[in-house]
Amino acid sequence: MPKTDLLVAQPRVHLVAAGTNYGRFAIEPLQVGHAGPLGNALRRVLLSSIPGAAITRIKIGGVIHEFSTIPGVLEDGTQLVLNIKGIRLRSYSERAVTMQLIKRGPGPVYARDIDAPSTVEIVNLDHYLCTIDDDSVLEMQLTAERGRGTSLADNNSGLNIGEIAVDALFNPVPQVNFLVERIGGEEHQALERLVIEIWTDGTIKPGDALGHAAQVLNQHFGRIAAFDQPEPIAEAPTPTGRAIPPDVYNRTIDELGLSTRTYNSLRRADITTIGRLLELDERALQGIRNLGPKGVEEIRTHLARAGYLEGAEQPALPEGDDSATDELLPDSTESAMA
């Protein structure tokens, strides 16, 4: 199919306003009739398909089910479960992660009292959970998992005795609004502007959520645009063309010792394991947002040094390399959206 120029002007994205967990973006110029469908598609993806993490089940010491009273705790099991649903967190592990909470009263219990491993980061540390009204000890085990959308407690099967299922709200974007504005002068020259507002729960930046939603739509539209093209020949899944053993595939990228900037770029792209990283070729790595050529080179260097690239040299990072100082620098997108 011959290529045609379909756009009168290339639209650009502007950050109009930013606040705590909030961003307003303008996309313009757009042809008349395009802004509404584009805004609706972005909104639906933002509200349903952005990956996140949530607590899916808990186990409370001395409690069999959520309708029981908890010794020494002011709230009952049902109210405590409702409060736990409000904990917002990031998980960098592909597997379920177990956290512990042990608190002696009297006094309130907050999310900051949860002992989380390094692969989990609780965002709203001041979130209230319950109150211990005597010198009792509250012991609780919480399990966090990654997912998309919402997973109801009724669908959580395979629970052990004493475990209580929790409605998991994985989606980190609770609200999205958009507005279509007419721009331009005369009627035949009129264009449209799409203004989209995004609220998040603090586990993701609004700009990153918008970029992820656009990538999801691009994957679908790309397949539709090339529906009459022959399927491309599949390339080898890894740079060395060898299969990746499961024990290697599931190792986290934490062990590579990447700089903060490179590590953050990978985890925003939902790349958290060695196997997933090895599946990406040079072009795919360069397409990751905010990574850049130096980040790609750093990844290749660390993979070779760790022995994951067969036949590759294992060069030492040159002195004065920026990746060492990146550990002390905030990520560029984080500082821009703060």
H/E stretch holding 163 reads: strand 163-165
101-153 pLDDT, tens digit per residue, is 999 989 999 999 999 988 899 999 999 999 998 888 999 999 999 998 888 88
CB 251 within 8 A of CB 274: yes
Predicted local distance difference test score (pLDDT) of residue 77: 86
User: Rg of the Cα trace of the chain?
Assistant: 24
Span 7-35, pLDDT tens digits: 566 889 999 999 889 999 999 988 888 99
Q: What does the pLDDT look like over 41-51, one tens digit per residue?
A: 999 999 999 99
Q: What is the mean pLDDT of residues 253-267?
A: 81
User: In this structure, are residues 176 and 198 in contact, taking their beta carbons and an 8 Å threshold?
Assistant: yes
Q: How many helices, marked H, and strands, marked E, lie in the chain?
A: 10, 15
Percent of the chain topping pLDDT 90:
37
User: What confidence score (pLDDT) does residue 46 get?
Assistant: 95
* pLDDT for residue 1 is more than 70: no
Identify the structural domains of the chain with CATH numbers, from first to last: 12-49+173-225 (3.30.1360.10), 52-169 (2.170.120.12), 246-337 (1.10.150.20)
In this predicted structure, what is the pLDDT of residue 226? Answer: 79
Span 257-282, mean pLDDT?
80
Mean pLDDT taken over the chain? 81
How confident is the model at residue 98, as a pLDDT? 92
Q: What confidence score (pLDDT) does residue 6 get?
A: 58
Q: Global pTM?
A: 0.66
Residue 204 corresponds to which tokens in the numbers above? Answer: 């993701």
Residues of the chain with pLDDT > 70, as a percent, come to 83
Q: Identify which of 246, 247, 249, 254 has the alpha carbon closest to the alpha carbon of residue 302.
A: 254
Q: Is 111 helix (H, G, I), strand (E, B) or coil?
A: helix
